[in-house]
C-alpha cells in the first residue's frame, strides 16, 4: 500500500484546524529561512504531520515544508541557508541539525525507506 494513499485516521476531520489551511500557504514555500522555520514549528502539533511527511517523501517533493521538514530538490534539509558562503559555525550547526532531522525521520518510521529519502549534505 502506498503511504501517500494510506487512509486517514478517522478521528481526524478533513476540515480540522490544520496549520497549512489556517495560515497563508506561501509560508510553506517561502524563500526566507525564518519563514520556513516558522512553518516547521506550526507543523509540530498537526494531526496529519506523519502522513504529510510520508507522502512528501514518497513523492520526492522538490521544495517546501512538508510534515515539519524542509525539502529542497527532493531531499530533506535541516534548515534552508541564505544565499552566500556559510560561516564555519553555521556548518557545524548544520551537521547537528542533519543528525536531528535523521532522528525525526527515524521516529516517524521513514528511515526504512532510506533509498527514497535522502538528506542533503
Q: How far apart are CA 64 and CA 36, in angstroms?
A: 8
The annotation status of 104 as a binding-site residue, yes or no, is no
The annotation status of 52 as a binding-site residue, yes or no, is yes
Q: How many residues does the chain have?
A: 121
**DSSP conformational letter for 9:** P
Q: Is 77 left (phi over 0), alpha (psi -120 to 50) or beta?
A: beta
The annotation status of 46 as a binding-site residue, yes or no, is yes
The annotation status of 17 as a binding-site residue, yes or no, is no
**DSSP conformational letter for 119:** B
| Sequence ranges of the binding site | 20, 43, 46, 52
| Sequence ranges of the binding site for [4Fe-4S] cluster | 20, 43, 46, 52
Amino acid at each position: 500500500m502506498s503511504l501517500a494513499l494510506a487512509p486517514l485516521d478517522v478521528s481526524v476531520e478533513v476540515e480540522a484546524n490544520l496549520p497549512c489551511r489556517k495560515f497563508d500557504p506561501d509560508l510553506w514555500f517561502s524563500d526566507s529561512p525564518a519563514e520556513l522555520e516558522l512553518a516547521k514549528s506550526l507543523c509540530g502539533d498537526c494531526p496529519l504531520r506523519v502522513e504529510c511527511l510520508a507522502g512528501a517523501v514518497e513523492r520526492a517533493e522538490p521544495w517546501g515544508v512538508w510534515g515539519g521538514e524542509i525539502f529542497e530538490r527532493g531531499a530533506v534539509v535541516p534548515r534552508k541557508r541564505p544565499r552566500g558562503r556559510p560561516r564555519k559555525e553555521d556548518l557545524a550547526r548544520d551537521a547537528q541539525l542533519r543528525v536531528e532531522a535523521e532522528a525525526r525521520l527515524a521516529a516517524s518510521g521513514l528511515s526504512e525507506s532510506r533509498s527514497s529519502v535522502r538528506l542533503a549534505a
